[in-house]
Amino acid sequence: MSFMDDLNALEFNDIGRWPMAFRAGLIAIIFFACLIGGYWHFVITKKVPELEAAVALEETKRQEFAAKQRKAANLEAYKRQLADMETNFGAMLRQLPGKTEIPSLLVDISQTGLASGLDEELFQPGVETRREVFAEKPITIRLSGGYHELAEFVSGIAALPRIVVLNDVSIVAGKSPADDLTMSVTAKTFRYLDDDEGAGE
């Protein structure tokens, strides 16, 4: 009787009468199936979240590496950009007067109004406010004159070598067409803080 004939003669309802070799083989198959199932259930399934977390971490690290690689590749360009910014900042800082130059700048602003042919009704410097690297000084100005003279004054302020900003501009017409216009404006000028000065002092 061949092995295949023995295998075909086996009845699953009567495993106890199977030859010893087949019973041992069946037990071995069941044992290995249980072993693999237990290993899968108790070991592999518990490692799946760790694997997923590791995969996610790897992806994050890859993205961080790519970002850092791009920055490293552009490092020279960033250095040049920083140097340009420092140069521009220095140029802008030079447009701010120092502490000793403020009085002459106030005279320049006042003279610009008079040179434009305007009557100066009010020129009142305000309290200086200190910021991080500069101080801001407001000046309340009220001038009267014609439309073209007012425009010439604004143009003259823009042409000053120092930064002066005109805020809160208000122009009021006189009671009759022959009357002058009156312009009220807050001019703000700025100065850089000396090394021994700090913001808010």
User: Residue 190 carries which DSSP code?
Assistant: E
Q: In angstroms, how far is the first alpha carbon of the chain from the final one? A: 110
Specify the pTM. 0.49
Residue type, 29: I
Q: 112 and 156 in contact (C-beta within 8 Å)?
A: yes
Q: Is the pLDDT of residue 22 over 70?
A: no
Which residues partner with 134 through β-bridges? 192
Percent of the chain with pLDDT over 90: 7
Q: For the chain, which domains are there?
A: 1-73 (no CATH), 99-192 (3.30.70.60)
Residue type, 81: Q
- Tens-digit pLDDT profile for residues 64-98: 988 888 888 888 888 888 888 877 766 666 666 66
Q: What are phi and psi of 78, to 5 degrees?
A: -65, -40
Looking up tokens 């590496």 gives 65
| Highest mean pLDDT: which range of 31-45, 121-135, 187-201 | 121-135
| H or E stretch covering 94 | helix 75-94
- Tens-digit pLDDT profile for residues 133-189: 778 889 999 999 888 899 999 999 888 887 888 999 999 887 766 678 899 999 998
